[in-house]
Amino acid sequence: MRVDLGALAARYHRALNDRDFDVWRAVFDEDVVLVVDGVPFRGVEAAVAYGVGSVSQFPGLYIASERLVAESGDTIVTEIDMVTGDFAGGQSRQQGTVCEIFRERDGRIVSCRSYYMPAPADRAEAVRVPIRAEASVVAEEQAALRRVATLVARAAAPEEVFAAVAAEVGRLLGCDITILNRYDPDRVATAVGVWSSTGALPIPVGTPVHLGGRNVPTLVFQTRQSARIDDYAHATGPVADVAAAWGIRSAVGAPISVEGRLWGVISAVSTREQPLAADTELRLAGFTELVATAIANAQARVELRGHADTQAALGRLATLVARGEPPEAVFAAATKEALRYSGNGTARMIRFELDGSATLVANEGATRPDVAVGERWEGYPPEGLTATVRRTGRSARVDDYGAIEGGEATLREGIRSAVAVPIHVDGRLWGMIAVGPGPLPPDLEQRLAEFTDLVATAVANAQNRAELVNSRARIVAASDEGRRQIERNLHDGAQQSLLALTLRLRSAAAGTSRDREDLVTEITEVAAALMGAIDELREISRGIHPAILSRAGLRPALHALARRSAVPVDLDVRIDGRLPEPVEVGAYYVVSEMLTNATKHARASVVEVAAEISAGRLRLCVRDDGVGGAEPERGSGLVGLKDRVEALGGTLSLHSPTGAGTTVTCELPASAGTDNDIQSRRGRE
């Protein structure tokens, strides 16, 4: 039920006049909560902080009369005459008049304004406060705030709230122009809401102006407090230059803070000679809280929507990967998600190649017809996105391709500005996603960076799946090729030799007319040829599975490799006993392949081989001092080693900078296989 503000006001005025402070205190403690400049005061604190309680600090001041003079909605206006002296004894003098404006909410006083006017010697010349006009202004202000609050409550778009606030403030304060500015990075104030009394906006929404000098937006930015300039002729800086073109004479600004951070400023502007009213800052402050609430709500909705969109994008990409779609399909889908996420005109995914070029692997949105997926770029601009991201491994931004060398081709596509974020896959810079032109918010890199984590996961999963398929295919192909090579070796070598020897033996057996000496010679030659065929078969079998590895294990086999190597080998093997057969074979071929590469390609003078067992894993390192520059993609040997090692559950890494030698590090699980496997193998030996 609505509180009777008139009765409540009369009650505490009477208690004050009678100096009955117990009653006076009880009235305030029970019924009054004043909010002054955003600070709440309760009970007696409220009376001392604001309102009629302030006059109680003067011992000789009494209330002569009190009147309820206006009422509008939840607001009433009272007027009291104050006197000094002994009012009861008839010895008193008119001191002045106090006008009080009360606002009520939920049965309690929540705001109070007091205007004290000293009485002149001649009562007839007293200046009166336009009480009814003030009550009307209060009601209008409440209605304006209520309209804005309704927009905020129904989750209207921030742009709608900004426009409404600018219009409400402009009409309420009777100013000529109202502007809401958002503070952006690099000391820029961007107009987000503009209103003018003539209907012709002095600047369009979205216009940025650099801060600096002495002007209202800059002062608010520097002090985080309200600011006023009553004579803009003395203002300076870019904002003042723009204001001069508008004919601005004075301005007042109030800061807008969102969740403790300075977000922007709302400015009331006048083109008339008279400065803005003294209470303009206070009245602006009532709207800044609503603007801040609208911004915070909008940000929360955007974050929630962004989180939901991100999760949905992740789900869509994960579905593609789970279905085993080829990487190209995942790249295209991820790029489409990036375009949807950023809201720009074009999105591209670019892969960095080992030779320094870059390949366009996916493209979405508006683009030239001749820009095709699969196209390889080599001469991209040195200051463009591709070169910058590749060089730094970090996000990059180009605000104007017309201002950089070689940017003409990008301009011809209609892309003047763009942003790119790197994609790191398994700790390596894999490529990047670029979006543009469109609006490029200052936080776009951060927003896209959150998304590229999902992209990187999708790319890594797709690549790993493709690598697994390719690895299996290579292993099968290598196995088939190995069998064919053995077949060729046997057919062209030992098989032909044995067939020829068989024919010679048959010839010798049939040649009964020969003498004994010729027959012995023939058989001796056949025996020698048989030994050669046996040696040849031994060499073939050594290529299939070294005999020393089967008989003695990895340590002696590595020593045998080192002795046969054409390049000196510094060997450090700390392995006791036997390892599972697959592990020994895998490690043997890693060392064998690297020694072959050091001899054929690296032009090395020495090779260091170290092997040890640590934490249940075989750690193997092969290092040469050759020319370096080895790349797995350019030869099948290293790729085959990687396939073999990974098939055993191990890892193989290559470090081969040009001119600084090559290092291969390999780890294999030393506990692969079972003790029974090892014992049965030793029994066969």
pLDDT tens digits, residue range 131-145?
444 555 566 766 777
Q: What is the largest CA-CA distance in the chain?
A: 173
Mean pLDDT of 434-456: 72
The predicted pLDDT at position 602 comes to: 84
Q: Are residues 422 and 502 in the same domain?
A: no
Band (21; pLDDT cuts 50, 70, 90): low
- Distance from chain centroid for Cα 83: 67
pLDDT at 394 over 60: yes
Mean pLDDT of 329-346: 80
- Nearest of 346, 319, 341 to residue 330 by alpha carbon: 319
> What span, in angstroms and rounded, lies between the C-alpha atoms of 389 and 355?
16
CB 339 within 8 A of CB 471: no
pLDDT at 625 over 50: yes
Q: Are residues 552 and 625 in the same domain?
A: yes
The predicted pLDDT at position 179 comes to: 93
The predicted pLDDT at position 679 comes to: 37
> What span, in angstroms and rounded, lies between the C-alpha atoms of 244 and 252?
16
> What span, in angstroms and rounded, lies between the C-alpha atoms of 384 and 418?
9
Band (681; pLDDT cuts 50, 70, 90): very low
Residue 482, CA distances (Å) to 475, 485, 540, 541 in order? 10, 5, 11, 12
Residue 453 falls within a domain, yes or no?
no
Mean pLDDT of 309-318: 72
Q: Which of 286, 301, 316 is the last residue of a domain?
A: 301
Question: Residue holding tokens 């050091």?
Answer: 598
Q: Are residues 590 and 505 in the same domain?
A: no
Band (538; pLDDT cuts 50, 70, 90): low
pLDDT at 601 over 90: no
Please state which of the ranges 49-53, 63-67, 547-551 shows the lowest mean pLDDT.
49-53
The predicted pLDDT at position 266 comes to: 92
pLDDT at 38 over 60: no
Q: Which residue has the higher pLDDT, 531 or 685?
A: 531
pLDDT tens digits, residue range 256-278?
888 778 889 999 999 988 888 87
> What span, in angstroms and rounded, lies between the C-alpha atoms of 418 and 438?
8
Q: Are residues 118 and 231 in the same domain?
A: no
The predicted pLDDT at position 236 comes to: 93
Q: Which residue has the higher pLDDT, 647 or 477?
A: 647
pLDDT at 540 over 70: no
Mean pLDDT of 516-521: 73
CB 112 within 8 A of CB 8: no
The predicted pLDDT at position 221 comes to: 94
pLDDT at 192 over 50: yes
Q: Are residues 232 and 368 in the same domain?
A: no
Q: Omega into 437 within 30° of 0, i.e. cis? A: yes
pLDDT at 12 over 70: no
Q: Are residues 37 and 86 in the same domain?
A: yes
Q: Are residues 479 and 581 in the same domain?
A: no
Mean pLDDT of 177-195: 89
Residue 447 falls within a domain, yes or no?
no
Cα of first residue to Cα of last residue in the chain, in angstroms, is 102
pLDDT at 683 over 60: no
The predicted pLDDT at position 664 comes to: 92
Mean pLDDT of 642-648: 77
DSSP 8-state assignment for residue 632: G
The predicted pLDDT at position 569 comes to: 92
Mean pLDDT of 541-552: 68
Residue 99 falls within a domain, yes or no?
yes
Mean pLDDT of 408-424: 82
> What span, in angstroms and rounded, lies between the C-alpha atoms of 189 and 242?
12
Q: Are residues 639 and 661 in the same domain?
A: yes
Question: Residue holding tokens 């008989």?
Answer: 551
> What span, in angstroms and rounded, lies between the C-alpha atoms of 505 and 500?
9
Residue 593 falls within a domain, yes or no?
yes
> What span, in angstroms and rounded, lies between the C-alpha atoms of 76 and 70?
6
Evaluated on CA atoms 292, 293, 298, 301, the torsion sign reads positive
CB 250 within 8 A of CB 229: yes
Give the count of beta carbons closer than 10 Å to the beta carbon of residue 117: 15
Q: Are residues 295 and 150 in the same domain?
A: yes
Q: Which residue has the higher pLDDT, 675 or 311?
A: 311
> Which stretch of DSSP H or E encloses residue 255?
strand 250-258
Residue 150, token pair as written in the block? 């309704």
The domain tally of the chain equals: 5
Q: Which residue has the higher pLDDT, 374 or 61?
A: 374
Mean pLDDT of 434-461: 72
Torsion of CA 626, 632, 634, 635, to 10 degrees: 90
Residue 312 falls within a domain, yes or no?
no
**Containing domain of residue 504, as a range?**
471-544
Q: Which residue has the higher pLDDT, 274 or 23?
A: 274
Give the count of beta carbons closer than 10 Å to the beta carbon of residue 415: 24
Residue 561 falls within a domain, yes or no?
yes
DSSP 8-state assignment for residue 492: I
Residue 23, token pair as written in the block? 């009653």
Residue 138 falls within a domain, yes or no?
no
Q: Which residue has the higher pLDDT, 509 or 79?
A: 79
pLDDT tens digits, residue range 82-134?
777 654 555 666 677 776 777 776 666 666 666 666 665 444 444 344 444 45
Q: Are residues 49 and 192 in the same domain?
A: no
The predicted pLDDT at position 78 comes to: 75
- Nearest of 663, 482, 681, 661 to residue 590 by alpha carbon: 663
Q: Which of 74, 101, 129 is the last residue of a domain?
A: 129
- Nearest of 401, 392, 388 to residue 436 by alpha carbon: 401
SS (H, E, C) 29-60: HHHEEEEECCEEEECHHHHHHCHHHHHHHCCC
pLDDT at 381 over 60: yes
Q: Are residues 159 and 292 in the same domain?
A: yes
Residue 670 falls within a domain, yes or no?
yes
Residue 346, token pair as written in the block? 């074009």
Q: Residues of the chain with pLDDT > 70: what percent? A: 64
The predicted pLDDT at position 126 comes to: 41
- CATH at residue 332: 3.30.450.40
CB 428 within 8 A of CB 399: no
Q: Average pLDDT, whole number, for the chain?
A: 75
Q: Residues of the chain with pLDDT > 90: what percent? A: 13
pLDDT at 216 over 90: yes
Q: Which of 80, 105, 129 is the last residue of a domain?
A: 129
Q: Are residues 164 and 49 in the same domain?
A: no
Band (646; pLDDT cuts 50, 70, 90): confident
Give the count of beta carbons closer than 10 Å to the beta carbon of residue 125: 8
Mean pLDDT of 397-425: 82
Q: Which residue has the higher pLDDT, 521 or 429?
A: 429
- CATH at residue 647: 3.30.565.10
